[in-house]
Structure 1
């Protein structure tokens, strides 16, 4: 599935698991708009087998992005990797190019946000009590998360920092996955998110 995990004891791990799921057409009952159209997805049972606990420091924070349909899977995965669920770290409010809230699809209500959960192992130290939950940032390529996440995570907890299923190599982070070079990391992007859509300190 992927290469072996990097060596080390990481104080912070960020994961955007390639959840395996399909969406369905209400009229035809046929699958469409699947994540499989954009990248290789992985069943939760196989994600569980990744030995994340072996590279997590005794005191470690795990940030995990999750779609609503896979919240139970995210909770199961966090436990399997040796972590305890703590809280919702971030809620990404997706914006259109004009800065207005973007309205997506959904099984019941139409979605406008995506969640990032915070799990912990041991007792990682919270560095900054002022880090806020809401990230207002534009939606870009499919499943690409806002770069502002890195700045907020670094303000909140100590490293070393590891990103699982990374699609870019962010400065100061160890990137792991089969798409680490898909996007070019641009440190100015995080600042742009802050400036355009409300800086949080």
Structure 2
């Protein structure tokens, strides 16, 4: 019985140590005068919803000096890949359309019917074809412009707040009746977004 008590105490101490070390590894941000949750989420490329959840915020109030935990963000390589997809898919589209294209990828990552990483969503295959035309035709390898990177930042901050779009298409070129049967969430520029 005595050994069991020592073992339980040791396990509890070890768990507490691991938790404390993990908490130290998280990024902590100190709120400055004029900060908003939206501004902080964009600055750190994290979802506003995640930022509020991790800090147990029921409202948008912030106080200078308040310390906020910043949720993990996506890697630089995933951000670059997503920006290249946005650039290839939405070249010539309005900024809102570029944000919406990036949001579709993030929504798929969060949806149980799709892969759970940005890279796997972008390179997903079905019936011998890639889900996104730029992967199929190779334009995904072209460098992204600054606006595409800004659109990715906006989509990351916006994550979880949109209408849940999982698909987009150009009605002038799309041939899929299945895709056209999906519920339209918004039309931006030459793209129809749907879920």
The answer, yes or no, to whether TM exceeds 0.5 is no
TM-score (norm 1): 0.25
Q: Higher helix fraction: Structure 1 or Structure 2?
A: 2
What is the TM-score when the length of structure 2 is the normalising length? 0.26
Flag the structure with larger Rg: 2
